Amino acid sequence: MPAFQLDPRLDADTLAVAELPLSTLRLMNDARWPWLILVPRIASAFEVHDLSAADQQQLILEAALVGQVLKRVTASEKINTAAIGNIVRQLHVHVIARREGDANWPAPVWGYGLREPYDGGSAAFIDAISVALAKENGLKS
């Protein structure tokens, strides 16, 4: 089996947050929304059904954990979780905090306007997520 490598587009568009048991957790570099991405570290995974049953369960657990932590850290009204992959084929799961009045509420975040990269504020947010994950599940950040 080939070794896992993060898709270059995901690498360019995101910032590292933490390593979970199955997935690497990344922050989308777009300050309009608190937007995390889980990428299972399995080279051959393009769809959820490409994972073993155990890995499918682990991915769901990680998505739920990340959603719970994201909601707590951001006090958002809604957490959107999706695996689309039409442009970046590598399996990845978006976990996005939404609130009424945010950019493009209530429509989807994909393809809306121009990305607004974090301007130095990502470190504090990444730290808050990492600390919350560690408290929640004893994970390595």
- Any bridge partners for residue 36, and if so which? 27, 95
Q: Which residue has the tokens 């599940």?
A: 137
Q: Which amino acid is at 59?
A: L
Provide the pLDDT for residue 73. Answer: 97
Average pLDDT, rounded, for the chain: 94
Contact status, residue 22 vs residue 60, Cβ threshold 8 Å: no
Q: How far apart are CA 3 and CA 11, in angstroms?
A: 16
Mean pLDDT of 105-112: 94
Residue 141 confidence (pLDDT)? 45
Write down the pTM of the prediction.
Answer: 0.93
> Of all helices (H) and strands (E), which one includes residue 37?
strand 35-40
- Concatenate the DSSP letters of all residues of 6-19 into one string: --HHHHHHEEEEEE
